[in-house]
Amino acid sequence: MGFSYAPLWKLLIDKGMTKEDLRKRIGTSPATIAKMGKGEYVAMEVLNRICDELNCEIQDVIEHKKTT
């Protein structure tokens, strides 16, 4: 499985934000948000901007899922 952005999607719900709101606030492309929606890798810089914008820690954005 690898990594999951489930914590981020929950955080957005808790803050009353949409993925599009986040995309605009961090200045990234729709393709980057789409990649995250599919659980694909994105640049650490993107994760850094998310943490800065939402005032959260990396574990609030992404979690590791063990692969078997």
Helix (H) and strand (E) counts for the chain?
Answer: 4, 2
Residues whose CB is less than 8 angstroms from the CB of residue 59 and which lie 6 or more positions away in sequence, other chains included: 7
Q: What percent of the chain has pLDDT over 70?
A: 99
- Structural domains of the chain in order of their starting residue, each with its CATH number: 2-65 (1.10.260.40)
Q: Which one is predicted more confidently, 3 or 27?
A: 27
Residue 18: what residue type? T
Instruction: Look at residue 42 and tell me whether its pLDDT is greater than 60.
Output: yes
User: How sure is the predictor about 66, in pLDDT bands with cuts at 50, 70 and 90?
Assistant: confident
The Cα 14–Cα 8 span in angstroms is 10
Q: Give the largest CA-CA distance in the chain.
A: 36
The per-residue pLDDT for 67 is 78
Instruction: Look at residue 1 and tell me whether its pLDDT is greater than 70.
Output: no
